[in-house]
Amino acid sequence: MPLEDVLRAYRIGGRAAWRALVSEATKAERDALPRAVELIMDYIDRVSSVVAAAYLEEKAHHVSEQERGLRALLDALVGCEALDARHYQTAERIGLSLSDELAAFAIAVPGVGASGHARVAAKLRGGGTLALTEGERVVGVMTPRHDPAGALPAGAVAVVDDPVPREDLAASLADVRLGMDAAVREGLTGVVALRELALDLLLARSPRVAADLRRNILGPLAEGGARSDLLRTVDAYVSLGCDRRHAAEQLHIHPNTLDHRLRKARKLTGLDLDDPEDLATMVLALHQPQPRRVTA
């Protein structure tokens, strides 16, 4: 029975008791009726508090049991454990198909705290997605036909990987967690495919290498007033797909000046931007998270 119905029953009983006292009280007893109604209301308040506390405790226990079941299912899927009847019952309850490959995801909603993320997780589970909170983010898995966009409040970001077989889920989930850190740092919103954060993942997994790249490659280009032009030139040239004419136009310089600066940059860094491997190294060195917006 819903808690509201139980409390309503006590209020109805209190009114019935009051009417009975009024109808049965003698003229001599009427002066005591105000005290009698105080006793009735005090009794109803006490009983209602006990009932409400018991109801909430039972509800919390039920939610806790559900949470444990959801976490057990996710752990089993990620750990490639054999699924038992309880796992299948949990998946059936939220409408998650276990016959498909699954896509890992992570969601963050800046500024809403743990309770706000719990609401997002609950909304996702209502749509057939296995979603659990991890502090101030939501992680989980979903089938390819599901799209988390509808569950995202304003300002939220979801990083979603491609569907993978169960044996790759652990690595996929680790990647979306790392990708989420990059997405929040860059101020992204909406649904972001994990593959769009490939450079961020590579650099995040090797922070020492990333720091060395920036120090040893960008450092020489940025030293001194004249050499700072070299860094801007190389950045523009690479970001424009190594298009010499467009880079010169953007920098408002002559193409010959661009060529001269690129030769100086090559001498300082030892990187030939016409060589694919050297170009890839420069791209990694130049990669700096910038605020941008992605829509679902």
- What fold characterizes domain 206-286? Arc Repressor Mutant, subunit A (1.10.10)
pLDDT value of residue 294: 43
CA within 13 Å, CB half, 195 = 3
pLDDT value of residue 42: 77
Q: Which residue has the tokens 């226990």?
A: 61
Q: Taking 90 as the threshold, does the pLDDT of residue 291 lie above it?
A: no
What separation in angstroms does the CA of 229 have from each of 180, 220, 269? 34, 11, 15
Work out the angle at residue 21's Cα, subtended by the Cα atoms of residues 18 and 22, and round it to the nearest 5 degrees.
85
SS3 of residue 50 by DSSP: helix
Domain segments of the chain: what residues?
3-73, 100-196, 206-286
pLDDT value of residue 223: 75
pLDDT value of residue 2: 62
Show Cβ contacts of residue 70 under 8 Å, excluding neighbours closer than 6 positions.
Answer: 90, 94, 125, 130, 132
pLDDT single digits (tens) 250-274: 999 999 999 999 999 999 999 999 9
pLDDT value of residue 54: 62
Could you tell me the pTM of the whole model? 0.65
pLDDT value of residue 259: 94
Q: Taking 50 as the threshold, does the pLDDT of residue 7 lie above it?
A: yes
Specify the CATH class of 100-196 in words. Answer: alpha beta
pLDDT value of residue 33: 67
Handedness of CA 233, 237, 243, 247 (dihedral sign): negative
